Structure 1
Amino acid sequence: MDVSKLPNHHPTAWDTHFEAMSLPDMFGRSAKASPQAPLLHFLGRTYRYSELYADAQAFSRALRARGIGEGDRVGLFLPNVPSYVAAYYGAMMAGAVVVNFSPLYTVDELAQQVADSGTRLLVTVDVPELYATATKVLRGSALETLVVSSLAKMLPTLKGIALRLFARSKIARVDYGRDILRWNDLLDEGARLEGGDAAQDPHALALLQYTGGTTGTPKGAMLTHANLSINAQQTAGLNPFGDPAGEVLMGALPFFHVFANTTLLNHAVLTGASIAMVPRFETKQVLETIEKYGATGFPGVPTMFQALVDHPDLAKTDLSTLKVCISGGAPLPGPLREKFEAATGVRLVEGYGLTESSGVVSANPYEGMRKPGTIGQVVMGTEVLLLDKEDPTVIAPDGEPGELAIHGPQVMQGYWNRPEAAKDVFVEHHGKSWLRTGDVATLDEDGFLEIVDRIKDMIAVGGFKVFPSQVEDVLLEHEAVKEALVIGRPDDYRGEVPVAYITLENGGEATGPQLREWLNARVGKHERVAEVVIRDELPKTMIGKLDRKALRAEVLN
């Protein structure tokens, strides 16, 4: 579909030329242009571009001295800490491919992905849980080397001393040796070595980002330097506020996730902006960080913004520097957007992306026209098709919802070691290869996309397709309902019946039967739920979005 001929409400022209560059080159340009500019604010300590760039160079040289270079895999098993930034760009400077691992992984999950990716060296931090998991994988896999950074040494001096003196239980006792190395020793070693940075091909593989994708089995999406650097440029092109180097991004999303990797880390480094970073999302700490550092933008997931709305300190926190908040990772409920904007006066816009697209596909404009309930317009240089829901080789009929497919410079090269899975997710149309998203969407006359549902989530009720998100949207209109997930339960007569699982707002009063009656009076016959189950909490993914897959596995198995 030729979106270039549709109205464009983003500040950057759709046909803007983007430069394919390597991520080390991108970092180097910003570090050389403004070496003393802040890149990270971390728990009271500020790291400047020149400092983290020098650390990345030192890590790169130390890796090369150990025979780790072009095409080798370097894994990051880290929360949001400064060593992540130096390790991420430093590994790429050496020509290695970064593999992101969630700090929440179990031993089995980490071991499986280390083996699948061929990771040779893993960087972690001396947090007891992470160190214990990493050492078990080191001893039981082909992983060769573990590098451990010190949390205390990344903090301001007094905080670091206090952690070592009074919180020893929060620091792992690391058994350093031949295959377990100190991060700081490696940096010192690299700083003494000579040699320039190796030139990187922008079209070479830069990152393996594991995702459940459309089949549920973890697969490594192969993202090149160009995929990632161009998606950072596409993200920067959404900013209508002037000098991007003056922006301070609230860094609560985890860097290991592709959403944060693009919208926080690479976006900031591209533009010379700074990130006010927290190790993990804690509502009070996030509010304090926004106020202390004057955060201007906040990419997050809906549950983060819900947590801010629910926190008693929100009303007394100075949010005057915030220009926009961007919600992604999961559908943004309309009532939550309205509550957040009413409570803060800050615009909350919804966007959309995939691991397979380097993180960002579309967003609502930060200023001017927007359409709540949609995922906005595609970012510059991105094309879309709506495919027939039953047959992706056919275009959906005009005016009908279809499976969203995208073509653009940010789309992955395929799945590592999974050629068959890649065949299933790409389709040819008009002489181009299109990435199938698995999401059913509509496109209006203004170029705004609306996600109707996921193909795999659709519920088959007596031969009719029911979109659970549409039923959830109605439920969320009830003042007592805070969160909602609808799944299909097997039924002998109709095949499946919808069942709703919800949590209540603080002080919300309603019973399951009352909500079922209220809901069923407002939806179509086939959308009527058999039951509304009230729970204290609903399952969430690692980045805090509601997890339909986990709920389905829990209640149906």
Structure 2
Amino acid sequence: MSNETAGGAIDFRKSYPPGVRWDAPLPGGAVQDILTRTAQGFPDHVAIEFNGADITYGALQALVFRAAKGFRALGVGPGVHVGLYLPNCPHYIIAFFGVLTAGGTVVNYSPLDAARVLEHKVEDSETDILVTLDLKVLYPQMAALLGASRLKRLIVGNIGDFSPEPETVAAFLKAAGQTADIPADDAYHLTFRALIDNDGAVEPFTVPDPGATLAVLQYTGGTTGLPKGAMLSHANLTAAQAQLLELCSGDEPLFEIGGERILAVLPLFHIYALSVNMLLGITIAARLVLHAKFEAEAALRTLTDQRISFFPGVPTMYAGLLNHPGMAKADLRALKFCGTGGAPLPVELAERFLRLTGCHLTEGWGMTETTATGTFTPARGVHKAGSCGVPVPHVRLKFIDVADPAREVGPGERGELCIYGPNVMKGYWKKPSANVDSFTADGYFRTGDVAWMDGDGYVFIVDRTKDMILCGGFNVYPRVIEEAVYEHPSVAEATAIGIPDAYRGQAPKVFITLKSGADPVTLEEMQAFLKGRLGKHEMIAALEIRAELPKTPVGKLSKKELVEEEARKHQP
């Protein structure tokens, strides 16, 4: 396939780092083979570090085989879907590869999902077996679905299962009131320890056709309605790993096989962390330092004390670090790569991070539906402010007119970004009509993002088509407003939405949080600050300061809750 955009006018390969190939080989195969290869080559290297305990790659592979045998005994095989309702912990990685080795399909669940969303996912995904922990913030939600949905069996672990003293940790958590009592019944419950209490003698499932075999059912966050399941095949996931590996290679490799340390604080149940932290980390035999959640204090301490070299995050995490009082004195010289995705990266935030650390925040773009890959900013190369980089290997992009999807727009023009490549999902689970609407006639996936490409092949995401604000006949993009607001010295975080306006139809409203110690800012003061930074049609009509802004499970700012709040306010 051509290495150009569908329009054929821009050759973006000229922006690739030396030695990185757009047409690099895609090895394919099964996802579980990624771990098998690394365990064979680096059995004594630490794979997982969690709560002071280490698990080597050899030990991890043995645990996966034992989990696979346990899953097989429960009937897991081709066509059987197993849910993972877990934070970042060893159980997640062991269960993920255990399910695939047994021949089943993984269904990821977010611990932050509302009860009705969890029930929808269980029924829609056909999940009969689910792995979780005995924590009160997790277990009761799924226990309520036993007998009230198709969910038939819970496999329940304890956060201390893989610690040096499991019983001590379990007793401490129970005394602290953090764990729930688990019924001692074989019909509905099985402990994670019982699942892996076997010799691990299992014949791994042979994937007959990686392109057709479903590996992961990954539900999209969705801005309206209930989430849809993106069908990610083994070939989708292994292609994404081949793309990421090639981007880190070239004449000046970013990594040393077996020598990197990754701070894995992004939730592994999210496609970004699953692909970039877990699967890429295992591919390069890295040490995965797992954090169950992001806390700026703990993250900064790990970054410095553990000499972390790779830190994939999202903009809100970097904002949290930059606003931490210890950031200015932190020794972060070990950092080689700090990637960001999941949400647009404010230019001002990227510049502050570079000044403090000397490490570029390399922005990329991808989606659940594209297995997290799509574009990348070369770590060693040109960084263009506001750009998410150039297309990854084997990916082609085109841009179509937002108002007339049948018309393709030219270089430099804004249009809906469409993508074609081996990382693009098979389609939405049980949603044939959505699949028709989501793909162009020539097979490109319509992302819903408005973007444009410059002459060097760099892509600039303008905004989501669904987030666009219509002000008096003008298209106003929230990201343009947010970028300007972030320049205000008092602003820590900002997000903009459209609210009803009797004259213009919609008007922009901005929600902000303040930096520590910063003085509040009034609407009039912010409007004066933005004058000259925004056009008249883009000027904000309302401002609200909050202690915190709503975020998605992966930590990016979420507009959905704010839009719903404003809609309720303006109901007649």
Q: Same fold (TM over 0.5)?
A: yes
The residue type equivalent to 1:550 in the other structure is E
Task: Kindly report which structure 2 residues correspond to 1:77-92, keeping only aligned pairs within 5 A, or say none.
Answer: 77-92=85-100
Q: Aligned in 2, Cα 1:242/1:147: closer, same or farther, shift over 3 Å?
A: closer
Q: Aligned in 2, Cα 1:288/1:167: closer, same or farther, shift over 3 Å?
A: farther
Q: Could you tell me which of 459, 467, 487 is aligned with 1:457?
A: 467
1:549 matched to 2:557? The reply is no
Tell me, yes or no, if the aligned pair for 2:510 and 2:540 is still in contact at 8 Å.
yes
Distance 1:553 1:114 in 2: 25
1:226 matched to 2:235? The reply is yes
1:330 Cα offset (Å): 0.8
Task: Kindly report which structure 2 residues correspond to 1:323-334, keeping only aligned pairs within 5 A, or say none.
Answer: 323-334=336-347
Distance 2:170 2:223 in 1: 43
Q: Deviations over 1:280-325 (max 9, x none)?
A: 1111221222233321110001111111111123234332211121
Q: Deviations over 1:71-130 (max 9, x none)?
A: 100000000000111100110111111000011223322111011000011000121221
Distance 2:504 2:14 in 1: 43
Q: Could you tell me which of 111, 118, 126 is aligned with 1:110?
A: 118
Secondary structure of residue in 1 paired with 2:144: helix
1:393 Cα offset (Å): 2.1
Question: Which deviates more from structure 2 when the two are superposed, residues 67-76 or residues 173-182?
Answer: 173-182
Secondary structure of residue in 2 paired with 1:151: coil
1:538 matched to 2:545? The reply is no
Q: Deviations over 1:108-154 (max 9, x none)?
A: 22111011000011000121221111111123111111001121222
Distance 2:123 2:130 in 1: 12
Q: Deviations over 1:233-257 (max 9, x none)?
A: 2112222324233121110100000
Distance 2:12 2:337 in 1: 27
Q: Could you tell me which of 234, 237, 244 is aligned with 2:257?
A: 244
The residue type equivalent to 1:104 in the other structure is L
Distance 1:243 1:133 in 2: 42
- Work out the number of aligned pairs and report it: 551
Secondary structure of residue in 2 paired with 1:267: helix
Distance 2:560 2:101 in 1: 38
Q: Deviations over 1:170-201 (max 9, x none)?
A: 23221131220011111013x26x44212123
Distance 2:330 2:147 in 1: 47
Structure 1 or 2: more helix by fraction: 1
**TM-score under structure 1 length normalisation:** 0.95
* Partner of residue 161, structure 1: 168
Unaligned runs of at least 5 residues, structure 1? none
**TM-score under structure 2 length normalisation:** 0.93
Q: Aligned in 2, Cα 1:244/1:12: closer, same or farther, shift over 3 Å?
A: farther
Task: Kindly report which structure 2 residues correspond to 1:365-514, keeping only aligned pairs within 5 A, or say none.
Answer: 365-428=378-441, 432-509=442-519, 510-514=521-525
* Partner of residue 139, structure 1: 147
1:231 Cα offset (Å): 0.5
Tell me, yes or no, if the aligned pair for 1:324 and 1:347 is still in contact at 8 Å.
yes
Tell me, yes or no, if the aligned pair for 1:248 and 1:297 is still in contact at 8 Å.
yes
Distance 2:539 2:115 in 1: 42
Q: Could you tell me which of 256, 261, 266 is aligned with 2:269?
A: 256
Distance 1:275 1:195 in 2: 26
Secondary structure of residue in 2 paired with 1:137: coil
Distance 2:540 2:331 in 1: 43
1:213 Cα offset (Å): 4.5
Question: Which deviates more from structure 2 when the two are superposed, residues 163-172 or residues 127-136?
Answer: 163-172
Distance 1:552 1:303 in 2: 20
The residue type equivalent to 1:500 in the other structure is V
Q: Aligned in 2, Cα 1:516/1:219: closer, same or farther, shift over 3 Å?
A: same
Secondary structure of residue in 1 paired with 2:417: strand
Tell me, yes or no, if the aligned pair for 1:23 and 1:229 is still in contact at 8 Å.
yes
Question: Which deviates more from structure 2 when the two are superposed, residues 505-514 or residues 277-286?
Answer: 505-514
Percent identity at matched positions? 39
Secondary structure of residue in 1 paired with 2:58: helix
Distance 2:21 2:498 in 1: 43
> What RMSD over aligned residues (CA atoms) do the two structures have, in Å?
1.8
1:279 matched to 2:279? The reply is no
Question: Which deviates more from structure 2 when the two are superposed, residues 408-417 or residues 466-475?
Answer: 466-475
Task: Kindly report which structure 2 residues correspond to 1:60-99, keeping only aligned pairs within 5 A, or say none.
Answer: 60-99=68-107
1:458 Cα offset (Å): 1.1
The residue type equivalent to 1:47 in the other structure is I
Distance 2:173 2:290 in 1: 24
* Partner of residue 342, structure 1: 355
The residue type equivalent to 2:319 in the other structure is Q
1:422 Cα offset (Å): 1.2
1:536 Cα offset (Å): 2.3
The residue type equivalent to 2:137 in the other structure is E
1:359 matched to 2:372? The reply is yes
Distance 1:443 1:75 in 2: 39
Tell me, yes or no, if the aligned pair for 2:173 and 2:179 is still in contact at 8 Å.
no
* Partner of residue 196, structure 2: 187
Distance 2:116 2:24 in 1: 44
1:171 matched to 2:151? The reply is no
1:528 matched to 2:539? The reply is yes
